[in-house]
Amino acid sequence: MEKNNEATGYIKKVVIIGPECTGKTTLAQVLAQHYNTAWVPEYAREYIDSLDRPYREEDLLAIANGQVMGENNGVRTANKVLICDTDLLVIKIWQEHKYGKCYQEILDRIKASRYDLYLLTYIDVPWENDPQRENPGLRRFFFDIFKRELEARGLKFIELRGGLSKRSQAAIKAIDQLFEPGHH
């Protein structure tokens, strides 16, 4: 079990999940600053930026490994809560959409993972072009897939809608509840 200190027991892990260009990274930074803690960037961005070619399906395993490594490192430096800008569910959903299947290793790692809360970002923010973004017309499609996946797995999540201020306030309220007495 991840340890932080005697008072908290273990680090709470919060994942921000949602379609492309829905404010996940900005929200992760705001929440990390609010809680004076570490956040784990989306490793896929760094990995794809470092390639001198288009990414391929086999790159998804390296991306998954890098994401998990970032989380493991983040747990060591986090202050009560670790904010994760994505997780392996995103890679699973993306691989299934683009390639029609998901690597068993990724599925196994998802099954073994534990997060305390998912923050599902809605598509009510403007699209911003970015070389790594591929599907501006599919944000609602992916939002629905993320929501179904979270529900099917019985994972604790809230939907975040509105501007950054509204999303931040709702996220902080939900994260604060993780630390209330009697919450598991």
Domain spans in the chain, listed from the N-terminal domain onward: 12-177
Largest CA distance in the chain: 50
At the topology level of CATH, where does 12-177 sit? Rossmann fold (3.40.50)
- pLDDT-wise least confident of 29-38, 103-112, 128-137, 160-169: 128-137
Q: Cα separation of 2 and 112, whole Å? A: 14
104-118: pLDDT as tens digits:
999 999 999 999 999
- Which pLDDT does position 20 carry in this prediction? 85
pTM: 0.90
Query: Does the pLDDT of residue 70 top 70, yes or no?
Result: yes
28 pLDDT tier (thresholds 50, 70, 90)? very high
Say if residues 92 and 106 touch (Cβ distance below 8 Å). Answer: yes
What does each C-alpha distance from 182 to 1, 46, 144, 179 come to in angstroms? 19, 39, 32, 8
